[in-house]
A and B are shown apart, each in its own frame.
Chain A
Amino acid sequence: MSEAGPLPRPEPQYATAGQQAEAAAFGMWVFLATEILFFGGLLLAYTWLRASHPEGVAEAGRHTKVVIGSVNTLVLLTSSLTMALAVHAAEQGRRKALTRLLAVTALLGLLFLGLKGYEYHGEWTEHLVPGLNFHEDSPHARTIELFYFLYFLLTGIHGIHVTIGIGLIAWLALRARHGAFSARHYTPVEVTGLYWHFVDVVWIFLYPLIYLVGRSGP
């Protein structure tokens, strides 16, 4: 364990630093509630598509690159682990560990984006991008196009969330390196951790809906 560090002065609207930390964490939870409904709308559209054209969705699902998707799931889950460890390190005031774990989390996030980009490239060459170069001969072409339309929206918006998360975590890592956090003050790490886990959970929902649909059963 290291030095507890001084308590930072709270912003003027707060009575204590504790109140400020509570407000920040609570604010993040409320924000995540908004986010759930945001993805919820898209998932409803997906549900509608799958309910009205189950076969087309199954066929589209078989076009997806399940290997990249699975590796990415693993990458993101691991990054959630390192993030959790980072929060733990922050709690205990271990500055070096915190910096490293944050850096690893950000790198894993980048790896996720890289793989995702590779996957997008593959889809482009296979003419699966709706509205730009979509071409498909199957009788379910229309459904497949809609599936990919939702696929790009869902993963694209998720990707934006990942990008923002990487930015936040990289910034935290820099600040941690300069000793901005201590066992008494690590709210930004905790709050960013919440956000990062949420981004991860969203992916846990997307993975089976995108990659596993149409691959099981007869």
Chain B
Amino acid sequence: MTTATVTGKPDEPVVATRNYLTEGGVTLRSWLLTRDHKRIAILYTLSITFFFFVGGAAATLIRLNLVTPPGIFTPDIYNRLFTLHGVIMVWFFLIPSIPNTMGNFLIPLMIGAKDLAFPRLNLLSWYLYVGAGLLALFAILIGGVDTGWTFYTPFSSLYSNGYVVLALAAVLAVGFSSILTGLNFIVTTHRMRAPGMTWYRLPVFVWSNYATSVIMVLATPVLAITLILVAAERLLKVGIFDPALGGDPLLFQHLFWFYSHPAVYIMILPGFGVISEIVPCFARKPLFGYRFVVWSSIAISIIGFFVWAHHMFVAGISLYAGLVFSLLSYVIAVPSAIKVFNWTATLHKGWISFDAPMLYALGFIGLFTIGGLTGLFVANLAFDVHVTDTYFVVAHFHYIMVGGMVSAYFGGLHYWWPKVTGRLYPEWWARIAALLIFFGFNLTFFPQFILGYLGMERRYYSYPPEFQAWNILSSAGASVLAAGYALPFFYLGWSLFRGKRAGSNPWAATGLEWQTSSPPPTHNFDRTPTVTRPPYQYRPEPEPQDV
């Protein structure tokens, strides 16, 4: 266990006297008006955690309802619950999760900069996010929005009751928040790198956040305008999505998925980045095929713009469109496969240790592989005709997003926890949580693949009795998963006050972020570092590098 060897003695490294947590004041005002990327990252982490638990609570109620048909809730309440779960989890957790917390905290550190290029925009982005989040909660909880996170027209524009326009406005606002973040990251990566930090010396985490930012900047505005069109259609009863008014509902789906398919890459690419940091560190080996990993991220962000209509194979698109979009969806699987192979090959002939971040990373690779492979099932035209809109798709999506992305989020949270807080988390509790999450996750979502093939449709508050056994298994898994997610909340909170001091580099990791003190000072580095080597120059014997 690496941690024990480095910081065994309780009185060893003391917290850096100058750090971003205390420098510049500890008043609420100093936090709410801060321009420090690290403090903003903390603000984001707190608010994202809040929304994660809100979305998680909705998921828990959904699984509870599905234990026994027809369940405990009325259909209207159930419909609001899955709308709440979808909207909150997609826009207020998954999309901002890694970029806005870890990306915000780490990108300047990793490239040797003092801050992001536009600190004020960064703060504005957080205010937009929080405002939008509260507005979304209000719209869904008080206004009873029941459209699902996809807002399909003409249901959302003319039939649904509830504060749909308000929910659309909330998503629009959070969209601008992510545009600002993406813009900030792109400019920072281009213009703020330390001397010697060439593009090929950038950590993969920076590369993948860069690829993510490109999608945020280019796809989100299309979502924005689509939402404006739906809202206008709803308010004015004139619009181009409703056939009764002369419009076309498929136009909405094209526009919506033009954003929302790239958006799933917004959600997963930063996860790839986190895993690419963790695996070399705990295998004590350079990342296998660095350039392949880098360019596969870029390839994903580009090809990701050309596969949107694979969500519409049964929606009434032409046969030829179906053939082309299915083929492109197969093509985009290639760069993802490259990554999985490279992480696996990184393990070969390494000195592997199994600290909690590594457990999450290994879990990520496994679950993402399953998610990716089932992605090839649903990209298959004939197969998709049978399973689209069933729990098969739900399971596939959650394998990528929860099994993949949330594992990466927790892995990164543990990996950088000592850097962010200056304290170590309790290792054994963390390992238990990682294993609980892994098993709970599989128990929750694997049965849903089978349910989907059997024909259980999504967004059903009730279902025929022959589906019940699998649903009970799934709900049982969900309770394990919930426990797994609650656990870190407690032990990480405990470690804030009682955790051992971490020192600047507890994992003996390479990377500029580990060369400054923990927690880092406000402007990150006492002297701007100069970079002379490519990333991940790990040596077999772990030794602390900050002495």
Query: With A45-B229, A142-B246, A146-B247 in contact, do A23 and B222 touch (Cβ < 8 Å)?
Result: no
Would you give the 0/1 interface string for A1-25, flagging 1 where the beta carbon is closer than 8 Å to chain B? 0000000000111110001001100
Q: Which stretch of A27-35, A67-75, A106-114, A118-126 is in the interface?
A: A27-35
The count of residues in chain A whose C-beta lies closer than 8 Å to any C-beta of chain B is: 38
Query: With A23-B191, A134-B238 in contact, do A13 and B246 touch (Cβ < 8 Å)?
Result: no
Q: Which of B108-153 contact A (CB under 8 A)?
A: 108, 113-119
A41 to B251 Cα, complex, angstroms: 10
Min CB distance A191 to B, Å, is: 12
Could you say which residues of chain B place their CB within 8 Å of the CB of A22? 191
A44 to B238 Cα, complex, angstroms: 17
Min CB distance A119 to B, Å, is: 19
Q: Do A142 and B113 have beta carbons less than 8 Å apart?
A: no
Could you say which residues of chain B place their CB within 8 Å of the CB of A44? 255
A35 to B221 Cα, complex, angstroms: 7
Q: Do A146 and B218 have beta carbons less than 8 Å apart?
A: no
Pick the contact of B222: A14, A40, A145, A146 (CB < 8 A).
A40
Q: Do B239 and A38 have beta carbons less than 8 Å apart?
A: no
B248 at the interface (CB under 8 A from A): yes
A171 at the interface (CB under 8 A from B): no
The count of residues in chain B whose C-beta lies closer than 8 Å to any C-beta of chain A is: 43
A139 at the interface (CB under 8 A from B): no
Q: Which stretch of B182-190, B292-300, B425-433, B491-499 is in the interface?
A: B182-190
Query: With A34-B218, A37-B221, A38-B224 in contact, do A142 and B232 touch (Cβ < 8 Å)?
Result: no
B226 at the interface (CB under 8 A from A): yes
Min CB distance B315 to A, Å, is: 16
Q: Do B186 and A30 have beta carbons less than 8 Å apart?
A: yes
Could you say which residues of chain B place their CB within 8 Å of the CB of A188? none
Could you say which residues of chain B place their CB within 8 Å of the CB of A149? 232, 236, 238-240
Query: Which of chain B's residues has its CB closest to A40's CB?
Result: B222
Min CB distance A101 to B, Å, is: 28
Could you say which residues of chain A place their CB within 8 Å of the CB of B258? 41
A39 to B118 Cα, complex, angstroms: 25
Q: Which of A92-119 contact B (CB under 8 A)?
A: none
Q: Do B232 and A153 have beta carbons less than 8 Å apart?
A: yes
Could you say which residues of chain B place their CB within 8 Å of the CB of A132? 236
Pick the contact of A48: B179, B237, B240 (CB < 8 A).
B240
Query: With A45-B240, A143-B246 in contact, do A153 and B229 touch (Cβ < 8 Å)?
Result: yes
B217 at the interface (CB under 8 A from A): yes
Q: Do B222 and A38 have beta carbons less than 8 Å apart?
A: yes
A85 at the interface (CB under 8 A from B): no
Query: With A26-B187, A27-B187 in contact, do A41 and B238 touch (Cβ < 8 Å)?
Result: no
Q: Which of B312-338 contact A (CB under 8 A)?
A: none
Task: Report A's interface with B, CB cutoff 8 A.
Answer: 11-15, 19, 22-23, 26-27, 30-31, 33-35, 37-42, 44-45, 48-49, 52-53, 130-132, 134, 142-143, 145-146, 149-150, 153
Can you name 13 A-B residue pairings with CB atoms under 8 Å? A13-B108, A27-B183, A30-B186, A33-B217, A33-B218, A34-B183, A37-B219, A41-B221, A41-B224, A44-B255, A49-B240, A153-B228, A153-B232
Other contacts beyond A13-B113, A30-B217, A39-B225: 12, CB < 8 A: A23-B187, A30-B187, A37-B219, A41-B222, A44-B255, A45-B229, A45-B255, A52-B248, A53-B246, A130-B236, A145-B246, A149-B236
